């Protein structure tokens, strides 16, 4: 795959414009950039481009079934239809995109974060591209989060010692860590938090926790060490049942 010599951010900004214009020529009603494609100040060399194409009523199936409008922007290396509404696709120069095609009447029922309407046909009400407010997530009870994290550790270590290393890894270093992130997020500035992916930008939002995460997520072969680190973090900040903590530490000490 040929790699471009153009600045990676400039390439992505230019590609977004080229795709947008390609949808206009293909007869779409509008182009809604999402994520960092909407806020191009956030783009970097690793960014993909997320967007919605707004198709005229009755034209959605055609735009999904024939991607010639997309390849008109630049040669494609790969395209994979990952939902009924859209694709993930890779251009030959390495730019990756994720997109969906919707007709105007579908948008009010689609959950998405606010985007930027690059252009729209005069017949399209731009109001349909403004998402309904995402209900503020209920703040989980800290005691519930602690209990979930601890029992994730207990179950995960048991599976890991049984030989179910993948399942054990997921319980300890994924599920329990998710609860730790939720606990650390409570009371923290949620400025650029992603409502759909709480783990996004943890390194920037929760730097103190980010410094502890390598010890909590050392890999599939080190689940006992990970569980010790997670348990220590929980014990330092929350009330932990001594019996449950002792049971977790016993499993952490087993070497088989």
State residue 200 phi and psi, 5-degree precision: -65, 135
Task: Give the pLDDT of the chain (256 residues) as one tens digit per residue.
Answer: 556 578 999 999 999 999 999 999 999 999 999 999 999 998 989 999 999 999 999 999 999 999 999 999 999 999 999 999 999 999 999 999 999 999 999 999 888 888 999 999 999 999 999 987 766 666 778 999 999 999 999 999 999 999 999 999 999 999 999 999 888 888 755 556 555 556 566 767 778 878 888 999 999 999 999 999 999 999 999 999 999 999 999 999 854 4
Residues of 22-37 as b/e, b for ≥16 C-beta within 10 angstroms?
Answer: bbbebebbbbbbbbbb
Residue 5 · residue 96 · CB < 8 Å: no
Sequence length of the chain is: 256
**Max CA separation in the chain (angstroms):** 68
Give this prediction's pTM. 0.75
> What spatial distance separates the first Cα and last Cα of the chain, rounded to whole Å?
45
Q: How many CB atoms lie within 10 A of CB 169?
A: 21
Cβ neighbours, 10 Å, residue 57: 10
């Amino acid at each position: 795959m040929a790699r471009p010599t153009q600045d990676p951010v400039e390439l992505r900004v230019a590609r977004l414009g080229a795709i947008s214009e390609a949808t206009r020529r293909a007869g779409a009603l509008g182009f809604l950039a999402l994520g960092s494609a909407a806020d191009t100040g956030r783009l970097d060399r690793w960014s993909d481009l997320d967007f919605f194409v707004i198709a005229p009523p009755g034209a959605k199936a055609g735009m999904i079934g024939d991607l010639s409008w997309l390849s008109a922007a630049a040669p494609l290396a790969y395209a994979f239809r990952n939902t009924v509404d859209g694709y993930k696709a890779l251009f030959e120069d390495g730019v990756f995109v994720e997109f969906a095609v919707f007709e105007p009447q579908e948008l009010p029922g689609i959950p998405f974060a606010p985007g930027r309407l690059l252009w729209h046909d005069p017949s399209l009400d731009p109001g349909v591209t403004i998402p309904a407010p995402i209900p503020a997530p209920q703040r989980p009870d800290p005691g519930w989060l602690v209990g979930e994290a601890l029992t994730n550790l207990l179950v995960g270590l048991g599976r890991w010692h049984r030989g179910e290393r993948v399942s054990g890894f997921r319980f300890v270093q994924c599920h329990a860590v998710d609860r730790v992130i939720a606990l650390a997020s409570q009371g923290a500035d949620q400025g650029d938090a992603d409502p759909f992916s709480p783990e996004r930008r943890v390194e920037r939002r929760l730097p103190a926790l980010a410094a502890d995460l390598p010890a909590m997520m050392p890999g599939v072969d080190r689940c006992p060490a990970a569980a010790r680190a997670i348990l220590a973090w929980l014990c330092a900040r929350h009330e932990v049942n001594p019996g449950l903590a002792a049971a977790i530490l016993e499993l952490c000490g087993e070497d088989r």
